[in-house]
Amino acid sequence: MFAKFYGLRGEPFLLTPDPSFYFESKVHSEAMAHLNYGLNRGEGFIVITGDIGAGKTTIVKRLLASIDQRKISAAHVVTTLVSGSDLIRLVAAAFGLKDLPADKSAVLLRLQSFFETSHRDRRRLLLLVDEAQNLTEGALEELRMLSNFQIDNAAPFQSFLIGQPQFRVILASPNLEQLRQRIIAAYHLGPMSREECGEYLLHRLRHVGWEQDPFFASTAVDAVFEHSGGVPRRINTLCNRLMLLGFLDELHRFERIDVERVAEDLARENGYAASPAPAAETTAPENRNVAARIAGLEDRVAVHEESLRRAAAALHGVLDVVAEEKSKGNG
């Protein structure tokens, strides 16, 4: 809609994670460094945590796109609201094992055989577990037990656990001491700085062919940072709506007042007062709950947005076929 108005190749602030838009802020660079360190070690657990919308999924996708798939086979598990036994089955299925037996011990034997075959083929195995904060202690213990497998004194696979900040509380449980001893690196993905927020905006705009239209005044960037707290998905939500406002009102320059207007509209829609997002280190529990509810709504918007994009693509395909048929008829 507004992309054509501004002469862009696409929309720069979609909520759906897209590794092609990856922006290497300081925190994202450090998170990637921890993941790559884990890959080089080839054993144990790497833990990455971050607030909702901080960019954890984008980092995971970026990592998967960068690995040599001839040497490393990666499995990605997202659905984590399951028991320990079901998680084992999910892991096996994620690695491509089919026709899994009902018995847990039989599934473990299948996994062990798969580990041994991969080791003989000199192919390492990487398990990425997203939304790790939903894992029970029992499920985490099952993952630890899997890490006990060794072939020729080497670990056949390693696990990266990616979750929201509360996952660190879960890991602190006295019952998970043995798992903590296997964590070789951990990193918390915090928000971007004001300077990085401005660079992030320009990065995403340039990715779709932006040529200074619309222009973001420095006061507008200040307001975007204040209302988003430097969290990428919140920035995208705010700027996506800002671009829509610009299209509707035919704006080619954004000022603070425009960002404030959009922030107030979003706050009213979500039932909250518009106010600058507090820094991650000083956020009160009640404000974190509010932020989580907002981010949850943003997640739902992202799902609907993707559905609409697919429906629109399908509709365009039908229209193209109809147009082609008409053309043939006229010919």
H helices within the chain, ranges in order? 2-5, 26-41, 56-66, 84-94, 104-120, 137-146, 166-171, 177-180, 194-207, 218-228, 232-249, 256-270, 285-330
pTM over 0.75: no
As a whole number, mean pLDDT of residues 170-186 equals: 92
- For residue 24, how far is the Cα from the chain centroid? 14
pLDDT value for 177: 93
Q: Flag the least confident range among 41-45, 89-93, 181-185, 228-232.
A: 41-45
CA triplet 25, 47, 296: central angle to 5 degrees?
A: 70
pLDDT value for 327: 60
169 confidence band (pLDDT: 50, 70, 90):
very high
pLDDT in tens, 292-316: 444 444 544 444 454 445 445 555 5
pLDDT in tens, 181-207: 999 999 999 999 999 999 999 999 999
pLDDT value for 330: 57
Residue 269, classified by CB atoms within 10 Å of its CB into exposed (0-12), middle (13-18) or buried (19+), is exposed
Domains and their CATH numbers in the chain: 2-20+193-307 (no CATH), 26-189 (3.40.50.300)
Phi, psi of 260 (to 5 degrees): -60, -40
pLDDT value for 288: 40
pLDDT over 70, % of the chain? 82
pLDDT value for 195: 94
Q: Is 187 helix (H, G, I), strand (E, B) or coil?
A: strand
pLDDT value for 40: 86
pLDDT value for 9: 92
Largest CA distance in the chain: 77
pLDDT value for 147: 86
pLDDT in tens, 266-296: 988 877 655 454 444 444 444 444 444 444 4
326 confidence band (pLDDT: 50, 70, 90):
low
